[in-house]
Amino acid sequence: MLRSWLAAEGGHFRHLEINEAIISSVVPSVTQELLSALQKLGASRIGLVHPRMRLPFTFDYENYLTLGADRIANAIAGVRFFGENLIIVDMGTAITFCLITQRVYRGGVIAPGVYTALRSLSERTAKLPEVSLQYRENALSKSTVASIEAGMYFGWRGLVRETIDSLLRAPEAIAVRGKIKIILTGGISEELGFSVELADVVDRQLTLRGLLAAREYLF
């Protein structure tokens, strides 16, 4: 699968061209499969993003060893490219919020992701269809599909806005509140109508940029 994917992406892939690889995974069983596959593709150095690695920030977080590798990769990229005071919002399967001030990872929030909730709504109700997230100017809706679209759009815009506002009021953030940069990332971050409204930076590739930046701390 990896070989065919890389060939499609690069067009001239040869497995001997891969010398190094970096993995950010929150699924242990998949991590082991990736390690094995990358070794077969020729990677002689493979780094795993994890909380114990050398990092460009420190932690003020209860049991930081439980922190997901995706959130660590985001924090690496955030601090490396956007500064030491950040709120990073990752719109994925879950929506994660991370507060970093003065290069210290302070904590955050985890909420259900948009499409996770949309699928759950469709699967757990008999008559409600599965819909996509649509930009809406007004919440008032005249059909079932439009009502779901409005509920999702305004509901998640409100969730993201309120959570950001609450993090900005946290004691750890107050001293640098005017210096905090808000970054929105994740698979659908560029498709959300409220991205520019709520964030200073919209960078869909932030996690991947974090993996690339992690190289200097892993090898």
The catalytic residue positions are 70
Cβ contacts of residue 75 below 8 Å, gap of 6+? 55, 57, 86, 88, 98, 100, 105, 210
180 to each of 71, 93, 161, how far by Cα in Å? 18, 25, 15
Interatomic CA distance for residues 67 and 189, integer angstroms: 22
Interatomic CA distance for residues 5 and 37, integer angstroms: 13
Interatomic CA distance for residues 4 and 12, integer angstroms: 11
Q: At 130, which helix (H) or strand (E)?
A: none
Helix, strand, coil percentages in the chain from 3-state DSSP, rounded to 5: 45, 20, 35
Interatomic CA distance for residues 219 and 212, integer angstroms: 11
How is residue 197 written in tokens?
């409204």
